[in-house]
Amino acid sequence: MTAKTFRGGAHPPEQKDRSSGLAVERLRDVKQVVIPVNQHFGAPLQPLVKVGDYVKRGQKIADADGRMTVPVHASLAGIVKKIEPRTQSNNLDGPCIIIEAKQPEPVDGVVESTDDFMPPLDPFVCSKEEALARIRAAGIVGMGGAGFPTHVKLAPSKPISYVIANGAECEPYLTIDERTMIERPEDVVEGVAITMKIVNAPEGIIAVEENKMHAIPLLEKAIASSPRTRAGMKIRVQLLKTKYPQGGEKMLITAITGKEVPSGGLPMDVGCVVQNIGTLCAMVEAFRDGKPLIERGLTITGGACTKPANVIAPIGTPVADIIAAGLTAVDDEALRRIIYGGPMMGVAVPNYAIPVQKNTSGVLFMNEEEAVHYEEETCIRCGRCMRACPIRISPALLAVSVETGDYKEAEKIGLLDCIECGSCSFVCPAHRHLVQKFRVGKQILRTIKQKEAQNAR
Ligand code: SF4
Ligand code: SF4
């Protein structure tokens, strides 16, 4: 099988060996969860519970009207202790519902179930509208990135040719997708088939980087034995070169189909839907078991992590409690930085009391060597950043526009197309803080454009 790829990119040290061989362990007997009310890309939710309420596992606890919303559910049964702002994995304070575990009192000697799941639903029999409603009701969002609502992604306004399962997992250190493909290949294949059915796509492709070759025979076996492929659905594995950011939606689509998502466009513009591996498994559970998205897998690792792990934890579990349970461990003396997410696109946070969220793919405990901070030097115009940029803009020129506040020029060069992958910063010999400038610059440019739009009304 020939490995495909995209132009540009970088090769940061993979650092996956620490956790790639470790089976996923489930965290049990969680005492308390801190569930952020807003974990998705879209309009804010309102809590549906109040302090003192008893909630079951899987019960909806926050929701709102509107297409760009997905409900949030209790990830354990217990009492709502507080509803208050707490620091979230994006390092911002936001409203959280704090639930303390409690078993219900027996009635006539019988303890009723503490789960509140939906009835199973067959996605291959129900209508598209019913399937999308189930995905929303289960609170499913893209679990690899910004938390985009999955029911919106799966209602494209254009015909879809390919469903692509994103098994690239190109961020260094992270191995939870790799472990999921190894341990649950049947669910990955079933998730692709469900997505194909919903968006009416003729082909499903599971994209895997070369550094995860050992997952391929397992996926191929699951494809061959799937009742969906036996009934005629076309699903295959595609090998990709190991390169960062191979798992970016646009890079994945270009590598596999040769098509380029236009500037400002979406995958559906070139007939593609890309799904995260964890999201596919969450969809399978939502249909098969009626289970909402109340837990997720994540990798905990890094140079200051003395017990790396791949873990399934209830949404809202403070990472400190995963440590307390002994599933992972950290050397506090060696610890210099904590990152929620991967090292290239993750967010540095002040402590590990911050809870696991729907989009927390990993937590990194970084030591001195990994967390080294370089002072910026003057650009030497070497062009390395330009060669590394997967969307082929000139990061050096873009940085000048952002630094001088020339946002018209920055937009022209492609500021809003920047996917914030950090490849340019990684390869820059002058240690220019390029991606950091672009993150801030994008926010400023969006604010400017919003104001312009308001004034034009
Ligand atoms: S300019 Fe943006 S997209 Fe290009 S390499 Fe830098 S961070 Fe990545
Ligand atoms: S890689 Fe760094 S030094 Fe080289 S051109 Fe880009 S910004 Fe300048």
- pLDDT tens per residue across span 94-108: 999 999 999 888 888
Which atom from ligand 1 is nearest to the alpha carbon of 245? Answer: 8
Please work out whether the CB of residue 431 comes within 6 Å of at least one atom of ligand 2: no
| Main-chain phi, psi angles of 149, to 5 degrees | -60, 125
Q: Are strands 234-240 and 162-167 parallel, antiparallel or unpaired?
A: unpaired
Instruction: Identify each DSSP E strand in 58-101 by its residue range.
Output: 60-63, 72-73, 78-87, 93-101
Q: Is the CB of 393 under 6 A from ligand 1?
A: yes
pLDDT at 243 over 80: yes
Say whether pLDDT at 166 is over 90.
yes
Region 184-206: mean pLDDT is 98
CA angle 122, 123, 127 (to 5 degrees): 105
Mean pLDDT of 209-218: 96
Whether the CB of 10 sits within 6 Å of ligand 1: no
Specify the pairing of strand 203-209 against strand 234-240.
parallel
pLDDT value of position 273: 98
**Residue 91 — pLDDT band, cuts 50, 70, 90?**
confident
Task: Please check the confidence at residue 150 and state whether its pLDDT lies above 80.
Answer: yes
Q: What is the average pLDDT value for the chain, to the nearest integer?
A: 95
Q: How far apart are the first and last CA of the chain?
A: 55
6, amino acid identity: F
What whole-number distance in Å separates Cα of residue 298 and Cα of residue 278?
Answer: 10
User: Out of 36-45, 199-208, 346-355, 447-456, which region has the weakest mean confidence (pLDDT)?
Assistant: 447-456
Q: Hey, whose CA ends up nearest to atom 3 of ligand 2? A: 379
- Looking at the predicted structure, is the pLDDT value of residue 453 above 90? no
82 Cα–ligand 1 center, Å: 41
pLDDT at 116 over 90: yes
Domain ranges of the chain: 28-101, 120-288, 295-365, 384-456
- Report pLDDT for 104: 81
Mean per-residue pLDDT for 132-139? Answer: 98
Please answer whether residues 394 and 413 qualify as being in contact, where contact means their C-beta atoms are separated by less than 8 angstroms.
yes
pLDDT of residue 17: 96
| Pocket of ligand 2 contains residue 382 by CB under 6 Å | yes
Report percent pLDDT > 90 for the chain.
Answer: 91
Compute the average pLDDT of residues 297-301: 98
> Atom 6 of ligand 1 has which residue's CA nearest to it?
424
pLDDT score recorded for residue 343: 95
Q: How many residues does the chain have?
A: 457
Per-residue pLDDT band for 31 (boundaries 50, 70, 90) equals: very high
Ligand 2: centre distance to CA 428 (Å): 5
Query: Given this structure, which CATH class describes domain 120-288?
Result: alpha beta
* Pairing mode, strands 162-167 and 203-209: parallel
Q: Topology of domain 28-101, per CATH?
A: OB fold (Dihydrolipoamide Acetyltransferase, E2P) (2.40.50)
The pLDDT value recorded for residue 145 is 78
- As a whole number of angstroms, the distance between CA 218 and CA 285 comes to 20
Cα of 382 vs centre of ligand 2, distance in Å, is 5
pLDDT at 373: 85
Residues 75-100: what's their mean pLDDT? 95
Q: Which residue's CA is minimally distant from atom 4 of ligand 2?
A: 382
Mutate which of 251, 418, 426, 428 for ligand 1? The one with the most ligand atoms within 8 Å of its CB, which is: 418
Sheet containing 272-276: which strands, arranged edge to edge?
Answer: 234-240, 203-209, 162-167, 272-276
In this predicted structure, what is the pLDDT of residue 455?
85
CA of 396 to the centre of ligand 2 (A): 6
Res 421: pLDDT:
95
CA angle 160, 241, 228 (to 5 degrees): 40
Q: Check for a shared fold between 120-288 and 295-365.
A: no
Rounded alpha-carbon distances, angstroms, from residue 331 to 19, 315, 348, 368:
17, 25, 17, 12
Q: What is the rounded distance in angstroms from the CA atom of residue 173 to the CA atom of residue 217? A: 23
Does ligand 2 come within 6 angstroms of the Cβ of 251?
no
Q: What is the pLDDT, as a whole number, of residue 109? A: 81
Average pLDDT over residues 230-238: 97
CATH number for the domain formed by residue range(s) 295-365? 3.10.20.600
Q: Is the CB of 329 under 6 A from ligand 2?
A: no
Distance in angstroms (rounded) separating the CA atoms of residues 270 and 253: 9
* Residue 1 scores a pLDDT above 80: no
Could you give the percent of the chain with pLDDT greater than 70? 100
At residue 10, the pLDDT reads 95
Q: Which of 300, 448, 273 is nearest to 360 (CA)?
A: 300
Closest protein CA for atom 8 of ligand 1: 421
